[in-house]
Amino acid sequence: MPQYQAPLRDMHFLMNELLDFPGHYGKLSNGDEATPDMVEAILTELAKLCENTIAPLYHSGDQEGCKLEDGQVRTPNGFPEAYAEYMAGGWQGLSHPEEYGGQGLPMSLSLIKQEMLGTANWPFSMYPGLSLGAQNTIMMHGTEEQKQTYLTPLTEGRWGGTMCLTEAQCGTDLGQMKTRAEAADDGSYRISGTKIFISSGDHDLTENIVHVVLARLPDAPEGTKGISLFIVPKFLPGADGGVGEANGVQCGSLEKKMGINASATCEINFDRATGYLLGPPNEGLNCMFTFMNSARIGTALQGVAHAELSFQGALPYAKERRSMRALAGKQDPDHVADAIIHHGDVRRMLLTQKAIAEGGRAMLYGAAQYADHMVNGVLEGDEEKREYWDSQLGFMTPILKGFLTEMGQECASLGMQVLGGHGYIREHGMEQILRDARIATLYEGTTGIQALDLLGRKVLLMTRGKCVREHSRKLTDFGTRNLSNSKLRPFAWKLLRLAGQWNYLTMRIAMIARKDREQVSVSSHHFLMYSGYVTMAYYWALMAQKAWEKIDKGGEQSEEFYRAKIATAEFYFDHLLPRARAHAESMVRPTASTMKIKPEHFSFDYE
């Protein structure tokens, strides 16, 4: 059974050595309190909470699952008590304004908090995670009265939050949405309709749940241009800021799922429920993207979380399990057989998990700094700064969400494989990680949707390749600076070639798509995965560079840690980065072989 241990040494490496979070926080208007001592105290205390309270509920929560009793969802045993401890620690408001009960610290600390929570127990982390999205959306688009009413209880964790988008007839294509909103005499609205797949849609962890709901006004235009956003609480706010009377919101059923069984995934029925317009009429989809982008970054964390937890489960087993002798000769001569960690194929699997977990963490922490700058632009009222960093984060978001969740699923599968038949048995806990990981490539926009958003919308339509040029310049800069360094030259050469290839492929697809518009759709998955491998290569090169600097400086107590970083970087460049070549070749292939078979010719019953 995996026993979660917060990877504090790797977190410290990224924050204090590679990415200079202390210097980064010093440049933020809300970073004064994020001193090294404060950050260290936060990480230490959060690690204790996650390791001792939240992680032990991971397996039992999966076995027990959630229950719907008399219209109320009950979470597994231990969840309410763990959430109460989480709430008492003030963790929900870590990065939200002090005026609404938060601590006002930079957004990146909230993301790092979510990583720990998610790795310890992903289903548990979804309850406060969805609330964060509701908080951010109301903060960005709510009126002052709405902020005063909802943000304090959400920030304190007394109330939870959700987003309600999907309906039975539509998922990503929200233009088909049917939920209606009718104006009432008091300025509120009556919301009617049914939403499905609502994570944290009902539970017993908080006294109220604030639903952020997409619905149509009676005179709204057709399609996505006619969607508005509403705040619809389970219980109406009381006059004293507490909970008032029940609203017309009911959990109709719990979804029976493959994984994340301890997370309540609900069908929510709105029966003329009282709602309040959030943002301008018919601009709900734009406002909802605040929630969506928060959720997508949060889901990208899931890829890293499952890679890390599966690695933590597989590594001890590989050191203890004995089978045959290593091809290089006896490694454990005092035993009847060698530990399987001495076998090359097992090392391949473990190193893949390690490379993805640590490389993905570096990518996310880099993106977290973008988020800090974006929020800082909002706080300073600097729209130009906000837009710039929003565009930087916008380019990275589909890469992080799409690539890291695909790789996290692969790593979860590898963890099962290391344990062999024992990995398939429920009591060892490895198959649960794979079941839980599977949803990550589906919700908040499937990998295909992320790929189309990246290539079709952000690369070709919005920036005409400028975003690729900007991000590939980082690879070029690393390469040119380090060509003369014998230790880093192999990384430098490859990054230089990749920078040129990334731009060439972008231009090539754009040229082909002028004549064949399906090229974007057919190429997009390969483009996203290629972009992910290349971006992770850049971060592994940076980590290798920093590790060599520390070793060359001498006197480091953590030399083994740094040498492991360098070895993992070399493994990534030798064994995982070559996958990018296949994606590069496939993304510029003609679409005919994909598109020429007519739908009616897809059959399992040919005559």
- Helix, strand, coil percentages in the chain from 3-state DSSP, rounded to 5: 60, 10, 25
Helix (H, G, I), strand (E, B) or coil at 167: strand
- Residue 56 is given by DSSP the state T
Helix (H, G, I), strand (E, B) or coil at 204: coil
Q: How far apart are CA 266 and CA 538, in angstroms?
A: 40
Question: What's the count of helices (H) and strands (E) in the chain, helices before strands?
Answer: 20, 11
Identity at 412, one-letter amino acid code: A
Establish how many alpha carbons lie within 13 A of residue 130's alpha carbon, considering only the half-sphere containing its beta carbon.
29
Tokens of residue 36, six digits: 């090294």
DSSP labels, 241-301: SSEEEEPSEEEEEE---SS-TTS-EEEEEEEEEEEEE-SSTT-HHHHHHHHHHHHHHHHHH
Residues 6+ apart with CB under 8 A from 113: 42, 46, 91, 94
- For residue 572, which of 407, 455, 409, 423 has the smallest C-alpha distance? 407
What angle do helix axes 284-320 and 430-438 make, rounded to 10 degrees? 160
- The separation between the first and the last C-alpha atoms of the chain, rounded to the nearest angstrom, is 50
- For residue 406, which of 455, 450, 370, 366 has the smallest C-alpha distance? 450
Give the number of other Cβ atoms within 10 Å of residue 207's Cβ. Answer: 13
- Just list the catalytic residues: 444
